[in-house]
Structure 1
Amino acid sequence: MSDPHKKIARKAELSKISSSFRRLSSRATLGAMVAGAAVLMFIAIGVGEHLATLALRENERLIGNDLAASVDKVLDGASTSSRANVKTLPGSPCIEVERKLAELETHLRYVRTVALVENGRVYCSSALGPIDVPLSAYVQARRRAKDITLLAETPFQPGVPVLAVFSSTTSNSGVLYIIEGEYLSDVLVHGVRYGAERAAFAISGNGVLDEKGRFHTAIDADAPYSTGVTSRAWPFTILVASSPSLMTRQRWAFAVASGAIGLLVAGLIAAMYLLAFAPRRLLLAAVRQGLKRKEFHVVYQPIVAVSDRSVVGVEALLRWHHAKWGPISPAIFMEEVESSDMLEEVTRFVLQTALAEMSALTPAFPLRIAVNIAPRDLQRKGFVAEVVAAVRSLPPNTTLVLELTERFLLSESALTSAAFSALRAEGVRFAIDDFGTQYNNLDLLGRFPFDYLKIDRKFVSQVDTVGADLIAGIVALARPFGVKVIAEGVETQSQHDGLESVGVPYAQGYLYQRPATAQSLATSISSSAASAQH
């Protein structure tokens, strides 16, 4: 084979290898994206499981707190509310106070027996009369003025769990209240009704009473309790465990929600990937097709007078709802549009749509209609003629404001100056958008005849904290140029008050109204049109 033929074959082989490498690279990128989506789904499911566990524990804590409060009421009612009636009785002969104890018992809810204690001996009972039983048969070694003990049974009623509540009046005397465990189990059953599988009353080192009224010397290892809530008033703990059905419902609910969020995030990542890595021409082609398919529309955010919140204007905002990917932020496509031939078509769409929709409101409202443009529009052939024709069709007292974002401003030129002059002669006004960001400064106000200056939202967000002096300075510097200030991104009343205090005349933001269609703004514009001053 001759050398030329060898060179041709070598080139063909290199081209084939290069093409294969690109395919492999594309597949690797796609594979990485799929793997990333799978990892994201596993993470989302794991997060859902964790959130489900947290939700179950929170529900158990709520149940435990409710049950503990109910038991507190029982114990407080037994010991505190009746203390004044019985504090003088210990030491009195049983035959003299037996009737009083019986009467007292009838007024205490959940209390089976009221007994008197003297010198460490229980000597008089509302149910049995005179008795002689050591206090230690009911109460463990005491460490406080009032104490409780959970018992599997009593000497007089075997096999029936009770809760003994001892309230001392002196070091060796006091009143003993016996509360049947059945009452406590009735309280615990309420927890089961609210989603708990098991609920128990426990005293550390003493015993456990479950919702079925069964006494245990320790927590049953076969029935673990996942949450414990300790009473703040008495030395006991409520133990709670969720039912399997509730656990299953919670885990499924969070798994579905987390999975949906994972799918949504994965879809958004996929959309961002496609938009970020797709060739520029495909993005512009999609914009062109979107215009043809009427996927683009315009919404409007009111501009209000800070003094009385009357609507004095609106800003037209372009929105794209893609047939497949849904809403797409202008930040994704506008930079490419502004540096391409599509700029003319997109600007014309926004301008004509905004003026037509706002002019169609009945009756027409005297206000300012702000439309965003790029400096390249000012240098585009036919742009001035288009704007002039559109302006001359506007209703009386309606003004078009063209907003130019700072970072796109061009240096002063004869063509730009001529466009400014021609449009201002037709009543068009100009605004600097996002003032204070990127590369521009106040020198712009001297070089271009602007009418409005829009302060960027990142400065407005600080006006009620540390940014008031900065905004006041911008207002003062703009005043000699005859430029009026508009604050963007106002979201709170304190920001509104801060702007008013430093003399900002106009503002817009979610505090006043979110962007909406022209027709939905008609009512708010109508209510403020009488007081609007241009």
Structure 2
Amino acid sequence: MICGVCIVVAAVIWARHAADAAVREREGPIASDMVESIDRMLDNVVSRQQSALSALPGQRCAPIQQRLTELQTYVQYVRSINLVAKGRLYCSSSMGRIDIPLSVYLPREPSGITIDLIAGTPFQPQAPVMSLYVPTGKVEGLLYVVEVTYLADALAHGVRYEAEQVVLVVPGAPALNDRRALIAADAAAALRGTRASSPRWAFSVVVVAAPAFVAQTHWKYGALAGAAAVLLNLLIGAGYLIAFAPRRLLLSSVRRALRHGQLHVAYQPVVEIATRRIVGVEALIRWTHPRWGSVSPAIFMAEVERSRLLPAVTRFMLQRATAEIVQKTDIRPLRIAINVAPMDLERKDFAADVLAAQRTLPDDIMLILEVTERFLLDKHARNERIFNLLKAHGVRFAIDDFGTQHSNLDLLGRFPFDYVKIDGQFVRQVDREGGELIRAIAAVSKHYGMEVIAEGVETQTQHEALRSLGIPFGQGYFYQRPLPVSQLFADTAPSPINPARTRVTP
């Protein structure tokens, strides 16, 4: 589910970015085309009759007015051409002699060739124009009054290509839109579109795509991303089912086995090595499937311990094992050991389940919980509280399979365990280098008040070696295989009638 949500979120983000990129790809060429068109217009204005016009500023208006008017007819896109001297317009191609400050047409101080957009002129206050100033000397120059009609018509071409707004922006001045209207500079700066700047003139064009095109583009990429997300989630779901379907089927089968009485308990004795009499048993879960036959716990318990089925299985073992030991065997005193998983210690009702089973036992039967080293390594406050609570009610604890993980002898001091079960891999080496290690574990365990149980005893040689090392208790096929409770006998010593019992091969 987390993967699916992440994929959907990623698809939404990708669709938004992809759609925005597609919109920008549409707006960008339109803005560049508009810039190129206006560049050509302004280039045309300043290039036509430039040499003849540049000679006029500074001369008296009356002798040259007719010449100025004649030259203006060759220049496209302009309303008038004005001569400027000492910061004032003094001669116009359309009005003749005038006297108007240059600042009326060009509010900013000119610096080289300068353009500006103004709302109107003294002669046509309501008609916006572009002022284009070209200096021809230190205090002289030409001021072209460019009709914005031509500029707006060029901008309007962009609207035909699914643009909602196309705006000409001149720094420090109002902006011109495609409807021949000036808009405030801050409003133009707030437009969310694609901007293209002129390489030769101080202006830029902003293009904003039409809402219908934006909506259609986002819908298209959203649908594409949605389809891809659904497909990918289906593939992940299929992979999950393929990978975890066997686990789900196995757990379902265990759940049915628990419900239909297919699970039962076998007991492997723990004997006193010196006398070979039974002092305890380890309760081991067994499963007899109607079709598959006997199913090894190694196949299903690892999955059970990682699932929500664990509380029910642990509760079954506690109730069944304690009831059978009380009702079907008369070996006394006796210790009954039941394996619990680290996840058992994390659930709230675990202590209550254990104490309920403990209350069914008489005083001469002791309940022992076997936990792995992983519990010992994961020393959490909650685990420690449960540990101390159960010990206060007479439950004892054993470290199972000691030595198989990241263990060292110092771990034995972390919790006051009652028993240490040495893993069978060390017992198999007891007559070689493993003997000294077992002796060391036994010494440290004794220091902490723990008793040692050697697991996996299979031969007479191992039995004798453990007895010589002073190991008090043993468990393994050499003594007895796991059996139903009715077949447990207090004495596991070999019978003279059946000497083969001195060695039992697994």
Using structure 2 for the length normalisation, give the TM-score: 0.50
Larger radius of gyration: 2
